[in-house]
Amino acid sequence: MAAKLEQVLEKAEKYVQENKKTVAIAAGATTAALLAAYAWRRAQSAVPSSGPYPVGTLPADAYDAVIVGAGPSGSVCAYYLSRGGAKVAVLEKETFPRDKYCGDAVCTPAIRILEDMGVMQELIANNEAHFADAGGFVSPCGTSYIGVSKQKLGEAACCAVKRINLDMRIAKNAARAGADLKEKFEVSGATFDKATGLWSVTSTTGEVVKGRTLVCADGATSRLATKLGYCTEAPKGVCTRAFIEGGTHNTNFDGRKGDTMMAKWAEIMTNMQPKTYFLRPHVAIPLGIAVVREFINQKVLGTTKDRYQMLPKESA
């Protein structure tokens, strides 16, 4: 056996000696083929889970970022990405102007961002932002606070802007900065292609928008992020909101009577008697927030009858 192997090796050595050039070419070609096959397989299975893609690899019909939802988060994100030079699509299921339940209060850090975007100036010019120079609250446990922010800080700590105006102005501002705002585009799903490193975002009508990065800005407990498995928290709250006309603030919630609309609202939404009647004449307040989760967390609902009485039927 050993003698036979020796014979084979001898023959091979002789062949290599006599055909040096051919052997070198064959070995080179085999190595090149193996390397090419390896590179091709690497390229096929490349998972773009991290790290930037080289400039120039984005197909012409794709975006650097596809943002789902043109609420404040999505539109602000779109604005700054566009300002930084990115190619951005913002997909919004509604058409602006569209309303949203909210307390409509914009705090100082948000005001600064809106100023930087030029949105605040626009809101003021259109008489859509109203600064809260003074105001306050009484909490369910009786803690009260009356602020005089303008007097103390030199400026109002927050301002009130209706969401129907605020959201539209932010979204349109993002579009002016270069973002491709697609309204009436209700996203139904998104898939990621590992080979190309692209997200395909699909609408309920079958349209597809492709992008390198996907931003789920479709509201709290994002449905899309939930569907994709990134968000696992279940929605927990419901809310309501009401606008109260100035001059109708003489509400006596602790007494048997009160403003009919507000009492009715309070009964329906919270089944409790809110103690939110801090007021000076002609100061309007947002009372329309009832997040059940918070009430449950604070053990307000149904547990502390001594502090929270049920609204008597006759006052509703």
Ligand X SMILES: Cc1cc2nc3c(=O)[nH]c(=O)nc-3n(C[C@H](O)[C@H](O)[C@H](O)COP(=O)(O)OP(=O)(O)OC[C@H]3O[C@@H](n4cnc5c(N)ncnc54)[C@H](O)[C@@H]3O)c2cc1C
Instruction: Kindly list the residues in this chain that would bind ligand X in the complex (CB under 6 A).
Output: 68-74, 91-94, 100-105, 186-187, 217-219, 239, 241, 289, 291
Q: C-beta of 112: minimal distance to ligand X in Å?
A: 13
Strands 129-131 and 158-161 come out as: antiparallel
**Which tokens sit at 7?**
């014979």
Nearer to ligand X, 48 or 103 (CB): 103
What span, in angstroms and rounded, lies between the C-alpha atoms of 261 and 294? 23
Nearer to ligand X, 235 or 255 (CB): 235
Nearer to ligand X, 237 or 312 (CB): 237
Tokens 């100035």 found at: 246
User: Could you tell me if 170 and 119 are in contact, meaning their C-beta atoms sit under 8 angstroms apart?
Assistant: yes
What span, in angstroms and rounded, lies between the C-alpha atoms of 210 and 217? 16
Nearer to ligand X, 23 or 231 (CB): 231
Query: By Cβ distance, which residue is nearest to ligand X?
Result: 71
Nearer to ligand X, 258 or 286 (CB): 286
Nearer to ligand X, 180 or 186 (CB): 186
Q: C-beta of 27: minimal distance to ligand X in Å?
A: 58
Best CA proximity match to 190, nearest among 171, 168, 207, 173: 207
- Which residues, including other chains, have CB under 8 Å from residue 32's CB and lie 6 or more apart? none
Q: C-beta of 167: minimal distance to ligand X in Å?
A: 7
Q: C-beta of 35: minimal distance to ligand X in Å?
A: 46
Q: C-beta of 129: minimal distance to ligand X in Å?
A: 13
User: Could you tell me if 87 and 198 are in contact, meaning their C-beta atoms sit under 8 angstroms apart?
Assistant: no
DSSP characters for 67-91? EE--SHHHHHHHHHHHHTT--EEEE
Nearer to ligand X, 94 or 180 (CB): 94
Q: C-beta of 282: minimal distance to ligand X in Å?
A: 21
- Which residues, including other chains, have CB under 8 Å from residue 132's CB and lie 6 or more apart? 105, 149, 156, 157, 158, 159, 160
User: Could you tell me if 94 and 184 are in contact, meaning their C-beta atoms sit under 8 angstroms apart?
Assistant: yes
Q: C-beta of 237: minimal distance to ligand X in Å?
A: 7
DSSP 163: H
